[in-house]
Amino acid sequence: MALIVRIIKIIFRLIGYSINSGICLFIILLYLGHLDILTLHYKFNFWDLYFFTTTILLPFFRLIYNSWFISTNNNPSYRGKALDTYHQEMSRQQKGQKWSSKGVYVNPWEYTTPYTQSYDSSLNWVYSLAKCLCMSILFIIFAPLFLIVAFVQKIKKDNEI
């Protein structure tokens, strides 16, 4: 059962990556002038075969090297660091003492939600989407370079083991 769920997840990822690569191909063809929306006219060019091939390769490449296309923000902001420091200081002051509500000040708004009251990651999804689109467009244009880098990384990883 777990294998079926995993296969279904992979299929849905491939579908999503294919839609993303189709959007990127559409953007590239519009930029190059091979596709005209107003007249619904498409001019075939030899380079379009290359773009179509790399568009087909992109979902499978993203499935293997997904970390190149997504954005993870591991750097906490100053507000997040300050809140962590505050919590550490509060826990240091309580060591060796009984926990009681008498004499302990708690910010009532701090624990009403599971998230801190900061807007550090409010636009992370926009950045992640923009990075995904830009990296996908770059892959479609410069696919051989991406494949060479992936091949060199695999060789280095195999030599280390």
Give the tens place of pLDDT for each residue, 33-50: 888 888 888 888 888 899
With cut-offs at 50, 70 and 90, classify the pLDDT of residue 96: low
Q: Are the CB atoms for 111 and 53 separated by under 8 Å?
A: no
Q: Give the up-direction half-sphere exposure of residue 14: CA atoms within 13 A in the CB hemisphere.
A: 10
Torsion of CA 53, 54, 60, 66, to 10 degrees: -170
Q: CA angle, 128 as apex, 140 and 142 as ends, to 5°? A: 15
Burial class of residue 12, CB neighbours in 10 A (0-12, 13-18, 19+): exposed
With cut-offs at 50, 70 and 90, classify the pLDDT of residue 95: low
pLDDT at residue 61, rounded to an integer: 92
Q: Give the up-direction half-sphere exposure of residue 95: CA atoms within 13 A in the CB hemisphere.
A: 6
Query: Per the structure block, which two tokens stand in for 67?
Result: 């970390």
pTM: 0.68
Read off the pLDDT of residues 124-151 as tens digits, 9 standing for 90 and up.
778 888 888 999 999 999 999 999 999 9
